[in-house]
Amino acid sequence: MSSLDESASELSLSTPDFDLSWRRRSAIVMAVASLLGFVSAMVLSVEAWHLAKDSAASFACDVNSVLSCSAVAQTPQAQVFGFPNAFMGIAFEAVIFSLAVALASGTRFARWYQLGATLLGAGGILFAGWLFYQSYFVIHVLCPWCLVTAATTVFVFATMTRISIREGALPAPRGLRRIIALGYDWAFTFLLLFIMAAMIVGRYGLALVS
């Protein structure tokens, strides 16, 4: 690489970098994740409605004693604010999908707005992480649709954060910006999902399908 190319490379890593094709690919990941999260939230909302009318009702995702949406839905953790968490999920995913479409179209947001969106994603992953912790360590029953929501929230947060960092809305070291520009940050995202899956399989094993 010539010295001129090296200088250009260094400059791109020291200043905000807008690449529409790169951003569009990232935004599509976020859009797909939010759509999957929206579907799971809708399903859980409908089933929560049925459960409110009949506490003995069973859900389509009641697979066994380990995987049971209805068992989780009847716990206090499923209604943190006095109503089913799935209702918040619908609103959250709708907002994220709209944001993803805007990002994919090339819309440039003010720095404060993009930071706010990143904080929204952070709040989503913290809440999803807390719910996973409660299901895994406290309730000892897993909700399949909740696991889908947890996975999609990881992708939403990872995507929003990588866009904010690369475009300079979120301060970050040059090394981290280089990792994101090259796409290596996805390895951390999949590592987190792998750890969650390994925890589930490690604890329940064949009971997941029995």
Alpha-carbon distance values, 35 to 7, 30, 61 (Å)? 41, 9, 19
Break the chain into its structural domains and give their ranges: 20-208
Which class in CATH covers the domain with range 20-208? mainly alpha
Question: What's the pLDDT tens digit per position in 73-86?
Answer: 899 999 999 899 99
In the prediction, which pLDDT does 13 show? 41
Question: What's the pLDDT tens digit per position in 79-136?
Answer: 999 899 999 999 999 999 999 999 999 998 999 999 999 999 999 999 999 999 999 9
Alpha-carbon distance values, 10 to 18, 176, 184 (Å)? 15, 13, 18
